[in-house]
Chains A and B, each alone.
Chain A
Amino acid sequence: MKKVKLGKTYKLFVLPILICFFAFNTFPLINAVVYSLTDSRGFGDFNWVGFQNYFDMFKDSRILNSYLFTFKFAITATIIVNVISICLAVLLNSKIKGKSFFRGLYFLPNILGGLVVGYVFNFFFTFILPSFGKLIGNEFLSTSLLSNESTAWFAIIICTAWQAIAFNTIIYISGLQTIPGDVYEAAAIDGAGPWQKFWHISFPLIAPFFTINMVLCMKNFLMAFDQIVAMTGGGPNSSTESISYLIYKTGLSGSQFGYQCANSVIYFIVIVLISVFQMKFLNKREVQL
């Protein structure tokens, strides 16, 4: 093959974005790694401390708790969101009246800002649900779920799921639409019921969409921030501090700049590992029609 010369215009096309990308993505990334080896407070002088920050991190119960919370939150939310989304997608894709109206309505939560939605749910959990609990005489619901260390995380999941289900459902619907109708007809002739049709046809064939949703869900939930700010501010008693929130809170105003940079480096590695693992693992079970 003849080697074609790379035209100057092509280089010029890439140059502006390359400069910006390096300056505001790669450069701060390198900076984070460099700062993670110092005791910088974000301003003034600092000393090199080697890997001390990384050693300290593993003994820091607040950081360990934030990882524990973030994983518990992300895994539970991913499962709940995907199970509900698949059911909803099957329902919305079946024969119903007002199909496009329902699709539009069920997608609505996804376009709203996470922070404001968080504030609305905050009010719901703080005032509406407890007064409803008192009305029906339920002890458990009479106090705010958000003020209780053992339930606050679940209240955040409900709020997050409300928005995420909208997105995942629409992706699953577009997956279900790729399956040709005659596959179901063939299965019906073979005597397959609705349950078998779902497990043996729909579910394997929407596997690529399942992969997309699992990876995106997990990634988004591991980065949870808006809902935490709006609903609990990390409380009660630091029980709902996500990793992002902790880095923001203590790294910017808590004079732990260098230390939280070390945290963010580990956080980055964790996200990369999980994403790569998920894609490898989930790609395996995808089938082609």
Chain B
Amino acid sequence: MATIKKKIKNKGNIAVWGRTLLLILLALTIVFPLYMTVIIAFKQPTEMTNDVSGALALPRHFSFQNFIQAIQTTDFFHTIGNSLFITIVTLIVVVIFHSMAAYAIGRKMNKHKSFNFLYLYFISGMFVPFSMLMLPLVKETSIIGIDNKLGLIILYTVFFFPMNLLLYTGYLKNIPLALEEAAYVDGATTWTTFWKVIFPLLKPMHATVIVLTALSVWNDVMTPLVILSGGSGKDTTLPLAQLLFQTQFGTNYNLAFASYLLALVPILILYLFAQKQIINGVVNGSVK
């Protein structure tokens, strides 16, 4: 009896290790492009011979020369500053205004036709592709004079609203009305009830909204590409800079890759520390 059990256990162990080994092998497809980026970013153009090993072997010595040059070429600190500014301000605006509007709509859409209409009106915005709005928006933003950082923040606030409205109103259904009623009995206004009672309770959804919005805004290329096209380039975001400086990198792939790596590093560092929150945020955002 004992030997049979042991046998079964051994068999199970082999399967576990077999699957783990398979996952390690498959993970090479994830690691390889990243390895390639890092290796090429640290190399000198002279080391890049025409065969596979020339590009993929470890560099003879790790020098930060490419990075220094890339920082100067793409004005890295300026563009990352722009990206950080746009992302952070968007997040603040989104969390405040989206949760406010979602609260009003979520609580009143069942009793008031006008709010039910608003809900459907906003949600249907999810189907509108940016490509459709982009041509008229280029004109509109340049006429109003917001073909800059401010314009981008406003546009992101608008584009992410349908999704965030869905998330917030979905979560609101789980918050019992009794809490608000108790606050009203104590003489609180709608305004204070929202900020003192509801807003803190929405915290898990705030986290989801922040993760989803931050990832999309940080990595977005298309919106800044079309909206900032008329500007002087001082508002260029980090990913957009990779596109704009593509011609200046020329055939110096080491310089280009150093710049790509610089563009990837901020989010990689963030992922290292907040991996669980990011994954949870993304899963909650799509499943709920």
Contact = CB atoms under 8 A, between A and B. Distances in A.
A272 B215 CA distance: 25
Interface in B50-106: 50-52, 55-56, 97-98, 100-101, 103-105
Given A124-B33, A135-B52, A16 B264 contact: no
Given A107-B279, A252-B226, A97 B17 contact: yes
A79 interface: no
B221 A113 contact: yes
B136 interface: yes
B283 interface: yes
Interface in A57-86: none
B132 A267 contact: yes
B157 A17 contact: yes
A113 B219 contact: yes
Contacts of A167: 282
B121 to A, nearest CB: 8
Interface in A78-110: 88, 91-92, 94-98, 102-110
A49 interface: no
B136 A261 contact: yes
Given A10-B190, A96-B20, A104-B279, A113 B50 contact: no
Interface string A118-157: 0111011001100110110000000000000000000000
Nearest to B56: A128
A29 B127 CA distance: 12
Bin chain A's interface residue count.
Answer: 35 or more
Contact of B138 (A134, A170, A174, A252): A252
B197 interface: no
A128 B55 contact: yes
Interface stretch (B22-30, B169-177, B202-210): B22-30
A284 interface: no
Given A112-B264, A116-B239, A212-B287, A27 B140 contact: yes
B111 A261 contact: no
Interface in A146-203: 162, 166-167, 170-171, 174-175
A167 B215 CA distance: 13
Contacts of B136: 27-29, 31-32, 35, 261
Contacts of B215: 111
A286 interface: no
B133 A32 contact: yes
Given A102-B23, A212-B287, A113 B98 contact: no
**Most chain A beta-carbon contacts within 10 A, residue among B33, B239, B242:** B33
B255 interface: no
B101 A42 contact: no
A229 B243 contact: yes
Given A25-B125, A123-B40, A135-B51, A16 B282 contact: no
A282 interface: no
Contact of A117 (B33, B108, B139, B287): B33
Interface of A: 3-4, 6-7, 9-11, 13-14, 16-18, 20-21, 24-25, 27-29, 31-32, 35, 42, 88, 91-92, 94-98, 102-117, 119-121, 123-124, 127-128, 131-132, 134-135, 162, 166-167, 170-171, 174-175, 209, 212, 216, 222-223, 225-226, 229-230, 243-244, 247-248, 251-252, 257, 260-261, 264-265, 267-268, 271-272, 275
Given A20-B158, A265-B132, 5 more contacts: A10-B190, A28-B133, A112-B264, A113-B267, A222-B129
Interface of B: 12, 15-17, 19-20, 22-23, 26-27, 29-31, 33-34, 36-37, 40, 50-52, 55-56, 97-98, 100-101, 103-105, 107-108, 111-112, 114-115, 118, 122, 125, 127-140, 154-155, 157-159, 161, 189-191, 194, 215, 218-219, 221-222, 225-226, 229, 239, 242-243, 246, 253, 256-257, 260, 263-264, 267-268, 271, 275, 278-279, 282-283, 286-287
